[in-house]
């Protein structure tokens, strides 16, 4: 059995990676207290001791708002911490997969789906940190793979306080027949985390570099949800346009998947993923969602 080390395994993505691969890999998932990623020596020590074949780095400050509020702290974790992981993985010749984000494209004036090689100047701290981490990690370990993930959701195991609230909000709203509004000046991929998990193993074999890694989407978020409603046979009368969000600075985080596709990595479109999950939730008798309202549909931490 190959050995895999996962950082950030108490988080949204890391916990699912551990569950997904536990039958196939021998997994070591050090908790935050066991391996503080900003401690370069500690990181090297842990990786040398465990000697993984693959390192998947999910530990981060993933909340965009927190990065704005605490730029120094988040820079240390999101940039310096990632460099420590990439460098240590390189030293023990483990394949290193790191999580970046579609937020590196925030602020770009490109109207089409973004390609990896664009010159970027992200307009938020989180995006700046993710971009710098990509650049620095590739310097210290050119074989590492940096995945630009989009906003993810999970209908299978949604827990309170997790990042999967996009579809949870949608579903609860439908069930409670409450109004929901989504921005028309925002275009982005939104991805079922289970598709990320299914595609992840392919990244262990691909050349080092940056890859867009998530569901493509050509539509604004309001239209995306409208299409999903239609596909799921739902009445969209409670669906409203949010014209204010991103009005002065329209956002396009939509990513071109060609580079990943050429490596055999395939994601369904955002509309198709959301539609299928919505249909599944509506049909699922044993759905574990609470009956209370989940709040605003436009509340987007990312
Ligand atoms: N979720 C999304 O929709 C999304 C979208 C795009 C990109 N991403 C990226 O994907 C990765 C995983 O995201 P996620 O949503 O799973 O994040 P998350 O749920 O916020 O989990 C973050 C994890 O990092 C750990 N951590 C934080 N600071 C640490 C430190 N200094 N040393 C060691 N561990 C530390 C946390 O442990 P404690 O809680 O114990 O501190 C937690 O396990 C991140 O790089 C994120 O930026 C996520």
Domains of the chain (ranges, CATH numbers): 3-151+191-213 (3.40.50.720)
Q: How far apart are CA 193 and CA 155, in angstroms?
A: 9
Helix axes 40-50, 82-91, angle to 10 degrees: 40
Ligand 1: atom nearest CA of 63 is: 20
- Kindly report, residue by residue over 71-88, the tens digit of the pLDDT: 999 999 999 999 999 999
Q: What residues line ligand 1, using a CB cutoff of 6 Å?
A: 7-8, 10-14, 32, 36-38, 58-60, 62, 77, 81, 99, 101, 149, 151-152, 163, 302
Phi and psi, residue 149, nearest 5°: -85, 150
State the SS3 of 176-190: HCCCEEEECCEECCE
Ligand 1: atom nearest CA of 151 is: 3
- Per-residue tokens: 104: 């590196």
Report, as ranges of residue numbers, the positions in the chain whose pLDDT lies below 70: 164, 285-302
pLDDT of residue 231: 94
pLDDT of residue 301: 52
Neighbouring CB atoms inside 10 A of 139's CB total 11
Q: Residue 131 C-alpha to ligand 1 middle, in angstroms?
A: 16
Ligand 1: atom nearest CA of 37 is: 32
Ligand 1: atom nearest CA of 13 is: 16
H or E stretch covering 98: strand 95-101
CA 242 to chain CA mean position, Å: 24
Q: How far apart are CA 287 and CA 299, in angstroms?
A: 23
Ligand 1 atom 46: residue of nearest CA: 62
Give the DSSP letter string of 239-252.
Answer: EEEE-STTSSS-EE
What's the pTM value of the predicted model, to 2 decimals? 0.94
**Residues 116/222, Cβ–Cβ less than 8 Å:** no
**Residues 150/260, Cβ–Cβ less than 8 Å:** no
Q: Residue 144, exposed/middle/buried by CB under 10 A (0-12, 13-18, 19+)?
A: buried
């Amino acid at each position: 059995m190959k050995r895999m080390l996962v950082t950030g395994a108490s988080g949204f993505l890391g916990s699912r990676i551990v569950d997904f691969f536990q039958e196939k890999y021998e997994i070591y998932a050090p908790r935050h207290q066991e391996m503080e990623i900003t401690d370069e020596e500690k990181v090297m020590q842990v990786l040398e001791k465990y000697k993984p074949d693959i390192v998947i780095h999910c530990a981060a400050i993933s909340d965009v708002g927190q990065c704005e509020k605490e730029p120094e702290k988040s820079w240390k974790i999101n940039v310096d911490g990632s460099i420590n992981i990439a460098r240590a993985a390189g030293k023990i010749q483990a394949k290193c997969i790191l999580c970046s984000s579609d937020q590196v494209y925030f602020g770009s004036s490109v109207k089409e789906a973004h390609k990896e090689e664009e010159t970027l100047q992200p307009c938020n701290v989180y995006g700046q940190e993710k971009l710098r981490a990509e650049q620095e990690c590739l310097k210290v370990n050119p074989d590492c793979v940096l995945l630009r993930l989009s906003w993810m959701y999970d209908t299978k195991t949604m827990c309170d306080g997790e990042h999967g609230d996009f579809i949870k909000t949608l579903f609860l709203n439908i069930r409670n027949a409450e109004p929901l509004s989504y921005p028309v000046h925002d275009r982005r991929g939104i991805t079922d985390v289970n598709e990320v998990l299914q595609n992840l193993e392919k990244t262990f074999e691909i050349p080092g570099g940056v890859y867009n890694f998530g569901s493509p989407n050509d539509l604004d978020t309001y239209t995306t949800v409208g299409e999903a409603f239609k596909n799921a046979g739902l009445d969209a009368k409670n669906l409203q346009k949010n014209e204010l969000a991103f009005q002065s600075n329209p956002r396009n985080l939509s990513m071109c998947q060609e580079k990943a596709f050429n490596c055999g990595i395939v994601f369904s479109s955002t509309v198709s993923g959301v539609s299928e999950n919505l249909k599944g939730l509506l049909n699922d008798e044993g759905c574990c969602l609470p009956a209370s309202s989940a709040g605003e549909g436009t509340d987007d931490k990312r």
